[in-house]
Amino acid sequence: MSRSAAIDRASRHLDSGALLADLRRRVAVRTVSSDPRSGRAHHDYLTREIAPQLARLGCAVRIVDNPVEGAAPFLLAHRHEDDRLPTVLTYGHGDVVDTDEADWGAGLRPWRVVVRGERWYGRGTADNKGQHTINLAALEQVLAARGGRLGFNLTVLFDMAEEIGSPGLDEICAGLGDELSADVLIASDGMRVAAGRPTIFLGSRGELDFTLRVRLRDEPYHSGNWGGLLRNPATVLAHAIAVLVDDRGRVLPAGLRPPPLPGSVRRALAGIRVDGGPGSPPIDLDWGEPDLTPAERVYGWNTLEVLAIGAGSPGAPTNAIPGHAVAHCQLRFVVGTDWSAAGTVLREHLDRHGLTMVEVDVGAGVAATRVDPDNAWVRWTESSLRETTGADPALLPNLGGTLPNAAFADTLGIPTIWVPHSYPACAQHAPDEHLLTPLAHEALRIMAGLFWDLGDLGAHGDAWRERLERRWGPADPAVSPAAWSSRGEAPR
């Protein structure tokens, strides 16, 4: 069969109702990772839904215990065709966030797929059950179209706790590094820049949560009798926030700011327009780092956000100076930020401004990752999507949000290519989450084309690496992303 025939097979998989049937079963499994009662559901999802499909792909499948005590298991699968062929690692997560059924629209239920027009509603349809169901279906269609061969080696890793930070994933990648070794990660999560524009992203911004506290007294005191005599913790806290981020949202401490944008990142973002679609808030063009475009601010720079703030009784204020105040904050950061030193940076910065009474509590963080947009695998992927869709895909050096990509990019040291099948208005993590059928249809075609092209690359046998570099370079496979990501750009 030809490439176009494989893509047509993938299209018919949706048209026949097979994709919807798979997704209906999978959404019905209540795999809420934050609920400790979901253990059986996690196991059933892997063994009853994912494992049989991977067996049809000719994979050897096993369940791997999580090295973190009490955490959900992983699924690991291999299909090996030839040592000379490229090996692709793909990843998906079967867990979902919790949901209150009462908040969903009339007639909609989180654990049942409801079709209304072009939308398939249900928890996980966008994040991530719909996305990995599309990818596995595309693999099946390519395998059939090639007469029982893929033309590459396949490794599959499934996670059942991504929504709570993927405990154990990095340990699995470190401990099973030889088994998980691959030439590239090709996976799907997150969202496109817009519903109608296919997108590639190459990593994600990191995330670090921290809390600021001002604890001055155990009790509030009357504002008339004590106003002007007692330091107000809410006012102190407001000043602490103001010395960390200014009145237009610019991050102020030098140690929390990234290095200048690499040229390859700036070029990749030059044609990106940030638009969440209908129902999204208008962008504040005067907010954030000056002299950057909106795309550069969310995909190429650091932001410091106040997520929650409290003092006194906001719902029923009284004439009293509160005894304490608290702000829960978050730093989203890109490659090149020394986030491990954030606690020291915050402490020293506040002290220099005389705010020694402000306590700083820094939580665990997630590293930022970014493959250089000039990497050969990136250019190869762009070429594949361009051939399938007839248009240039949006290329994001990293997602604005955060994924557990460091386990692949840093621990395993492989290039990471993400092709998302959702869009900004999908209601991910919210009531009425849904998958768009036109987007799913195009996603099946894109992934079938991508996996077909990977098989074509493998047709060159031992010379596939040379061909990849010669046609789609520059790239230096001897240098892993982990070796250059801290500098923000690959060696040239």
Is 287 within the bounds of a domain?
no
Q: Which residues contact 51 (CB under 8 A, 6 or more apart)?
A: 61, 75, 77
Residues 360 and 417 in one domain: no
pLDDT at 278: 73
What six digits make up the tokens of 329?
A: 């904050």
CB 421 within 8 A of CB 138: no
Residues 333 and 411 in one domain: no
CATH of the domain at 57: 3.40.630.10
What six digits make up the tokens of 253?
A: 């401490």
* Main-chain dihedrals φ then ψ at residue 416, nearest 5 degrees: -120, 120
Residues 97 and 15 in one domain: yes
What six digits make up the tokens of 462?
A: 């031992």
Is 196 within the bounds of a domain?
yes
Strand partners, 471: none
Which pLDDT tens digit goes with each residue over 349-358?
Answer: 999 999 999 9
Residues 375 and 392 in one domain: yes
Domain containing 188: what range? 3-204+369-487
Helix, strand, or coil (residue 289): coil
pTM of the model: 0.90
Domain boundary among 323, 347, 365: 365
CATH of the domain at 214: 3.30.70.360
CA pair distance 89, 201, nearest whole angstrom = 16
Q: How many CA atoms lie within 13 A of 416 on its CB side?
A: 32
Domain boundary among 333, 365, 397: 365
Residues 162 and 220 in one domain: no
- One-letter amino acid at 54 equals L
Residues 335 and 373 in one domain: no
User: Between helices 233-244 and 342-352, what is the axis angle to 10°?
Assistant: 120
Strand partners, 194: 197
What six digits make up the tokens of 407?
A: 């386990």
Residues 334 and 469 in one domain: no
Q: Torsion angle, CA of 93/395/14/449, rounded to 10 degrees?
A: -110
What six digits make up the tokens of 291?
A: 């002299």
Is 267 within the bounds of a domain?
no
Is 147 within the bounds of a domain?
yes
Is 374 within the bounds of a domain?
yes
pLDDT at 30: 97
Is 387 within the bounds of a domain?
yes
Domains in the chain, number: 2
pLDDT at 289: 96
Helix, strand, or coil (residue 251): strand
Domain boundary among 332, 365, 398: 365
Residues 247 and 147 in one domain: no
Residues 197 and 234 in one domain: no
Residues 198 and 308 in one domain: no
Give kind and range of the element (H or E) at residue 5.
helix 3-15
Is 349 within the bounds of a domain?
yes
Q: Which DSSP state fits 480?
A: -
Is 440 within the bounds of a domain?
yes
Task: List the pLDDT tens digit at each of the 492 positions of the chain.
Answer: 899 999 999 999 999 999 999 999 999 999 999 999 999 999 999 999 999 999 999 999 999 999 999 999 999 999 999 999 999 999 999 999 999 999 999 999 999 999 999 999 999 999 999 999 999 999 999 999 999 999 999 999 999 999 999 999 999 999 999 999 999 999 999 999 999 999 999 999 999 999 999 999 999 999 999 999 999 999 999 999 999 999 999 999 999 999 999 999 999 999 898 876 777 788 999 999 999 999 999 999 999 999 999 999 998 999 999 999 999 999 999 999 999 999 999 999 999 999 999 999 999 899 999 999 999 999 999 999 999 999 999 999 999 988 999 999 999 999 999 999 999 999 999 999 999 999 999 999 999 999 999 999 999 999 999 999 999 986 444 333 333 333 333 332
- Please provide the distance, in angstroms rounded to a whole number, between the alpha carbons at the two ends of the chain: 39
CA pair distance 129, 126, nearest whole angstrom = 7
Residues 98 and 160 in one domain: yes
Residues 96 and 15 in one domain: yes
pLDDT at 476: 45
